[in-house]
A and B are shown apart, each in its own frame.
Chain A
Amino acid sequence: MSESSFEDHAEFQRSAEPYVDVRALGSGTREALTRYVQAIADDAMLIGHRDSEWTGLGPILEEDIAFSSMAQDEIGHALVLYRLLHDHLGAPDPDGQAFMRDAPHWRNAVLCELPRDDYAFSLMRRALYDLAVAMRYDALRASAWQELAAAAAKLLQEKKYHIIHDRTFVSRLGRATEESRERLQHALDRAFPYSLALWEPVENEPVLVSAKIVPRSADLARQWLDRICVFLVASGLKPPAHPDDATGAWVSEVAMSAVGARAGKHSEQLVELLAAMQGVYRSEVGAIW
């Protein structure tokens, strides 16, 4: 198989030790692991739902199709992760997880539940999210939980197409006209603080880190910030961050928005989203379409 595309998370490497038996983990660790996988699955599910709202409404046909396809990919990724939770951690079946949970039980970052807004916002949200998630999946390929490592390897391959998409459009529109640059910049200013919260750790993450099941979110956050800022600047945009004089590492100038979402604290918009997304399923639970 191909080598890692994101080689610089040296702290989290697959060791020679055997894989962990998830069923044999202590209940505290299993709960933390459930929270972690739920968080990343819920991110995929909801950004997938939001981007599916572009079907039929995209600004150009190719982007209508691209957002619809990325939405389909994301919902597929959520399904893979919900299945892991169901098969190994005692969660309900994937449909039950997606369609029967109320807002306080969702662990997604608020970035993924925000309304689609204009095209610039949806595009910028994808750019911030896709790089973060690709880096997370890349790191999870070294997970001590074999099934999670395999799923991450699979999802990373597909994520590459999202990144190709985002880079093409952000770098072109960032340097196209005054209006396209301004609209992207406005979208960036709005989405950026929310995107920082993609890295909010779930409760008790350290037990998962010491079991080598997941990488430390703070480490990935730092690497992501460096990469995304360099890309945004190269695209003619100004991230609300600057490189540190001494180390060169990028430092955010704004605080994380919407902290607490990984523990179930969400915006009003999630309630509206869930009403639309879950209504049909709940109207006749168990129906076969």
Chain B
Amino acid sequence: MSADVSAAPTLDRQAVFEALEDVKDPEIPVVSVVDLGIVQSVEVVGSHVRVTITPTFSGCPALDVMRAEIRERITLLGADEVEVVVALDPPWSSDRIKPEARARMAAIGIAPPPPAARFQADFDLELLGTSISMKNPCPFCGSESTRLESAFGPTICRSLHYCEACQQPFERFKPL
């Protein structure tokens, strides 16, 4: 592939990443595909752009929507060809979610995920028959006395919890 020297000077990796900040997760509109760590890499060769993304959960129906929006948004930057590739390796981890995005999630009542390693440790305990600790601080009042209501919530990436202190149900982005 030969580099196209006549391409608009704004079409570089940084411009693409900035544009991708406009592509939000349709299920959690306060965070972008970049915030979530869904974007694995961006390559720009002349006016050809290739974005590699990775799904949070494999069955996520929002992925196709985000893929279409990524293509649309980058086309607006003046790219002639936009390729959006889906890769599974390395698998997405909730540790990839940026700190600023975690704060924005918490502000709308979705508790951000704890470190994935903690989930892993909990899961191993579960296999030994110990009751699972899926506790998470309340995003509203910060109390630690909360309980897991269900490992499944309104979308496949969220679980349901209840805060005993402020007596509010809340959602949590699942650690993965």
The chain B residue sitting closest to A161, CB to CB, is B151
Q: Would you call B72 an interface residue if the criterion is a C-beta within 8 Å of the partner chain's C-beta atoms?
A: no
Name A's interface SS: helix
Complex interface: chain B residues within 8 A of A183 (CB): none
Chain A proximity of B87: nearest CB distance (Å)? 8
The chain A residue sitting closest to B56, CB to CB, is A158
Taking CB atoms and an 8 Å cut-off, the chain A residues in 53-79 that contact chain B are: 62, 65-66, 68-70, 72-77, 79
Complex interface: chain B residues within 8 A of A146 (CB): 89
The answer on a CB contact under 8 Å between A75 and B59 is yes
The answer on a CB contact under 8 Å between A74 and B59 is yes
The answer on a CB contact under 8 Å between B151 and A77 is no
- Point out residues on B near A: beta carbons under 8 Å: 55, 57-61, 88-92, 116-117, 119-120, 123-124, 126-127, 129, 132, 134, 149-154, 156, 159-160, 174, 176
Complex interface: chain B residues within 8 A of A69 (CB): 152-153, 156
The number of inter-chain residue pairs (CB within 8 angstroms) is: 89
The answer on a CB contact under 8 Å between B150 and A231 is no
The answer on a CB contact under 8 Å between A160 and B123 is yes
The answer on a CB contact under 8 Å between A79 and B58 is yes
The chain B residue sitting closest to A80, CB to CB, is B58
Q: Pick the residue among A62, A74, A164 that contacts B134 (CB under 8 A).
A: A164
The answer on a CB contact under 8 Å between A157 and B176 is yes
- Point out residues on A near B: beta carbons under 8 Å: 1-2, 5, 62, 65-66, 68-70, 72-77, 79-80, 146-147, 150-151, 153-155, 157-158, 160-161, 163-165, 167-168, 227, 231, 234
Complex interface: chain B residues within 8 A of A160 (CB): 119, 123
Chain A proximity of B10: nearest CB distance (Å)? 33
The answer on a CB contact under 8 Å between A73 and B156 is yes
